[in-house]
Amino acid sequence: MATFAYVGVSGEGKRLEGHIDAGDARAAVSGVRGMGLTPISVRESTRVAKARIPNLSLQFNRITRKDILFFTEELSTLVRAGLPLDRSLKITAELAPKPALRKILESVLTDIKGGKSLADALAAHPKQFTKLYVNMIRAGEAGGVLNVVLERLTEFERSADELRSYLAAALVYPVLLTAVGLGSIGILFYFVIPRFASIFDDVGAEIPPATAVLIAIAGFSTTYWWVVLIGLVAAGFGIRAWLETPSGSATWDSLQLRIPLLGPTLLKIAIARFSRTLGTLLASSVPLIVAVRIVEGIARNRNLAAAISRIADGAKRGEGVSRPMREAGVFPPLAVHLVAVGEETGRLDSMLLQVADVYDKEVKSAVKALTAVFEPVIILVMGVLIGGVVLSMLMV
């Protein structure tokens, strides 16, 4: 048995919270419903952890996509339970885990009480609520199906969060290996090699060319480290300025998709995001051309954005979606064929979501394969570098 902390709403709209013992989360939810409450949040109790670090959330107050997912889930649950929107927002604001999120939700609630729609109130905070999010809410309000749209938004945010978490977890080990390898090389250059250099000077032995070059590099980097640092910072700013130019960003976006092994994976990530976003918008009754333009606006790759723009132009001419996708030459044949089937059967929205699921799985498989290749490569490269440094010092 475990203890679960729950927050629920009674039939009169009163917010109640407490703890319940149950075998698992599903049993805890059933227990809360058995008390005549609509469960908003049921989580395993973390009272011990909170007692040890009571203000941890205050140290990480930046609003993330996980916080937006939390807001969407809670608001969806309350609206689906039949509570008025203002009451639902008030409860959600009280449950917000971060003061920054609570402040934004209180601002949204104030705007709604002042006569604004939920979409307009959320649009006042573009850093937290994307154009996609706002337009889906607007479509839900216009069609009187806000509860349905919130459920779809919850599914969308949850799927995107799962993919982000998987990618982050997969990159942890390669990044750690690289950091350890670079740290080891830094220790050799800044501490070990200078000691050996002083020993060679004292002995007066003839130094091989490879060792001399290594000692010279270590001496330069130790003495003129600030020059190296300034050079790296200047290079970073220069690359960033170049990427902000239209030609620079277009060139970089094109190069990304051509990188062996990595390029196809990045394309699959982009296709999955495009398909899920467009499918979710269409399922929420957003008009096709408007939905495509929204997806174009949030595309991170300029080549893909240009291809999506061709889809919008083709849709205006009555060509549908699959034909412009095929002519764009960016989208994989599988995605084009599945979208064509969706158009033929009148189920374009659900077929796009299936395309997203297919490419999400392919992305996970591709990332797993990439890490399986990169990890030994990183180990080999770092081993050769460190081994070369050590060997050059032992040649004397």
Per residue in 249-281, pLDDT (tens digit) is: 778 888 887 888 788 888 888 888 888 888 888
Please give the Cα distance from 305 to 310 (Å, whole number).
9
For the ranges 163-172, 205-214, 374-383, the lowest mean pLDDT is seen at: 205-214
Distant-in-sequence, close-in-space partners of 31: CB < 8 Å, separation ≥ 6: 20, 22
Q: What is the pLDDT of residues 24-80, one digit of tens each?
A: 777 777 777 777 777 777 777 654 334 334 444 444 567 888 888 888 888 888 888
- 15: β partners: 9
| Closest to 158 in 3D by CA, of 80, 92, 68, 26 | 68
For the ranges 7-16, 87-96, 130-139, 261-270, the lowest mean pLDDT is seen at: 7-16
| Closest to 281 in 3D by CA, of 266, 298, 306, 301 | 298
Regarding predicted confidence, which is higher, 48 or 300? Answer: 300
Please give the Cα distance from 268 to 250 (Å, whole number).
19
CA 178 to the chain's CA centroid: 22
Distances from the Cα of 80 to the Cα of 88, 109, 148, 280, angstroms: 10, 18, 8, 19
For the ranges 53-57, 96-100, 282-286, the lowest mean pLDDT is seen at: 53-57
| Closest to 317 in 3D by CA, of 352, 284, 292, 280 | 292
pLDDT at 389 over 70: yes
Helix and strand element counts for the chain (H, E): 19, 3
> What pTM, to 2 d.p., does this model score?
0.63
How many Cα neighbours within 13 Å face the side chain of 165? 9
Q: What is the pLDDT of residues 9-31, one digit of tens each?
A: 766 666 677 777 777 777 777 77
